[in-house]
Amino acid sequence: MTLPQNLSGWLKLVLPWLLFVALLLLPVTSPSDNVIRLLFLTAVYSTAGLGWNLLGGMAGQVSFGFAVFFGLGSYTTALLMHAGHSPYFGFVGGAAIAMLASFFIGLPTFRLRGPYFVIATIGVTEAVRVIMNNLEITGGASGYRIIEDKPFNPLEHYYTAIVAVALAVLVSAIIANSKFGLALRAIKQDQDAAADLGVNPYTSKLWIHAIAAGLTGIAGGIYARRAGFFYPGDVFAFQTGINILLIPVIGGVGTIWGPVLGGVIFIIVEETISAKYQDFHLLIYGALLMLIVLVEPGGLIKSKRLWAGMGRLLVGLFTGTTWKALFALLQKLLRKLRFLKPQRIEGKT
């Protein structure tokens, strides 16, 4: 491995580690339980989002069906813990079952392309949810309960989640810098051309699907262990799959840090705005989704406008011009809409 040659290269190498260490040391400052809970949720959702991003962002295969892996991770962890195994063994088991399921789903559906694949994944989630609702060994629609014979320790859950998200970032970074990652990006850009150059799209997609499913399964297991109680209408819900998809889309599809940023924003929105205006939480997600698609299709992490605006906001906090800066940011974001013109058709016949 070569050392970075300039300052920004060093920053890119060092900052993630600094962040990781800071998150590990955070409990020293004895933050409130709620802060720990929020960071836990952020880490869990970011892990799942990073998993989705491997398939949806790098390989370009949009799946609405990641709730299946999240739910399978939850249930496997719960069943293994119920059988007397350690929760960490449960997480590994959840990842393994999710990976196995990903092959069952991927073998037929990766024969499909583009919209057909997307539609098939919707079908798969709904079918799995109906089956889980009727399956007797997991308690059917009434859900499943995890009982641990020890006091509830939020910090343990927190550390597990932080390690999981670090693992997900590491896996993403390794894949992005590997030959395999290159093959995936080639498939995203042009599957036929990639196949001509010696990439096997089918097996590549299957493997990245399995890795993504494994990460999502781990996230599901960690979530379920803290939640203690879950049911198919929750972990297998279409909405869960949507949440997992929203996170990378908000943050930045195909980037490594995008899903992490997306997770942070998602939890902030979820906990502040939608908790306050519960009657409008779907509206908020919908509007956020539409705004991002229309204004910042690359996700927020690539938005120079947003970062500049954030800088100005920070300055504003000290100089007392926050509202002015916020207004300027909104104005800039909305100005883009006016310049958007219906575009000519691009691409091949």
Residues that bind other proteins (CB under 8 A): 56, 62, 108-109, 111-116, 118-120, 122-124, 126-127, 130-131, 133-134, 238, 242, 249, 253, 279-283, 285-290, 292-294, 297, 337, 340, 342-349
Q: Which sign does the torsion angle of CA 231, 236, 241, 242 carry?
A: negative
229: phi then psi, degrees, rounded to nearest 5: -140, 135
Q: What single-letter DSSP state applies at residue 300?
A: G
- Report in angstroms how near the CB of residue 18 gets to other proteins at its nearest: 33
Nearer to other proteins, 104 or 327 (CB): 104
- Report in angstroms how near the CB of residue 120 gets to other proteins at its nearest: 5
For residue 10, give both structure tokens.
């060093």
Tell me whether residue 27 is exposed, middle or buried, using C-beta atoms within 10 angstroms of its C-beta: 0 to 12, 13 to 18, 19 or more: middle
Nearer to other proteins, 15 or 283 (CB): 283
- Report in angstroms how near the CB of residue 63 gets to other proteins at its nearest: 11
For residue 295, give both structure tokens.
């204004």
**Could you give the CA distance from residue 347 to residue 349 in angstroms, rounded to a whole number?**
7
Nearer to other proteins, 20 or 238 (CB): 238
- Report in angstroms how near the CB of residue 13 gets to other proteins at its nearest: 31
Helix, strand, coil distribution of the chain in percent, nearest 5: 80, 0, 20
- Report in angstroms how near the CB of residue 173 gets to other proteins at its nearest: 23
In sequence order, which residues have a C-beta less than 8 Å from that of residue 193 and are 6 or more positions away? Answer: 186
- Report in angstroms how near the CB of residue 202 gets to other proteins at its nearest: 13
Nearer to other proteins, 27 or 140 (CB): 140
- Report in angstroms how near the CB of residue 279 gets to other proteins at its nearest: 6
Nearer to other proteins, 77 or 138 (CB): 138
**Could you give the CA distance from residue 163 to residue 154 in angstroms, rounded to a whole number?**
14
- Report in angstroms how near the CB of residue 223 gets to other proteins at its nearest: 22
Nearer to other proteins, 3 or 345 (CB): 345
Nearer to other proteins, 318 or 339 (CB): 339
Contact predicate 249/299, CB 8 Å? yes
In sequence order, which residues have a C-beta less than 8 Å from that of residue 332 and are 6 or more positions away? Answer: 305, 309
**Could you give the CA distance from residue 171 to residue 180 in angstroms, rounded to a whole number?**
12
Instruction: With CA atoms as reference, report the closest residue to 117 among 209, 251, 238.
Output: 209
Contact predicate 215/57, CB 8 Å? no
**Tokens 């939020």 map to which residue?**
154
Nearer to other proteins, 150 or 341 (CB): 341
Nearer to other proteins, 96 or 291 (CB): 291
Contact predicate 45/165, CB 8 Å? no
Angle at 247 (CA atoms; ends 245, 248), nearest 5 degrees: 80
- Report in angstroms how near the CB of residue 300 gets to other proteins at its nearest: 14
